[in-house]
Amino acid sequence: MKFKESKSIYLQIADRICDEILQGQYAEEERIPSVREYAATVEVNANTVVRTYDYLQGQEIIYNKRGIGYFVSVGAKKHIIGLRKDTFLHEDLPEFFRQLKTLNIPMERIDKMYEEYLAQH
């Protein structure tokens, strides 16, 4: 896995796991790879994956069954989508609006481009 310097590695791994859950690679109540297995997959130190799993557990996306491993929480997909929507609306969109204003791009142009995008997809 290639990592970006602008974001902590454990958060990038968390994003990857969330993507895998959203894509159906791991279903609700299904076991996910162990810390060591996932560390080997993404080629990082196991302690980094422990931090990732602790973060995801704190977000209620996964949970730990002692001695058995980590599992995807019920409602994880819905929760991930909610968290990502919140981030988009409160972090990404304000930056987008700032750029529109700075570059003097009218909203009508954005509307037109969005309509074209929807027509193609």
Q: What is the pLDDT of residues 20-41, one digit of tens each?
A: 999 999 999 999 999 999 999 9
Whether the CB-CB separation of 57 and 64 falls below 8 Å is answered with yes
| The amino acid at 114 | Y
pLDDT tens sequence across 74-100: 999 999 999 999 999 999 999 999 999
CB-based burial of residue 84 (10 Å sphere; 0-12 exposed, 13-18 middle, 19+ buried)? middle
Distance in angstroms (rounded) separating the CA atoms of residues 24 and 117: 26
Does this model's pTM top 0.85? My answer is: no
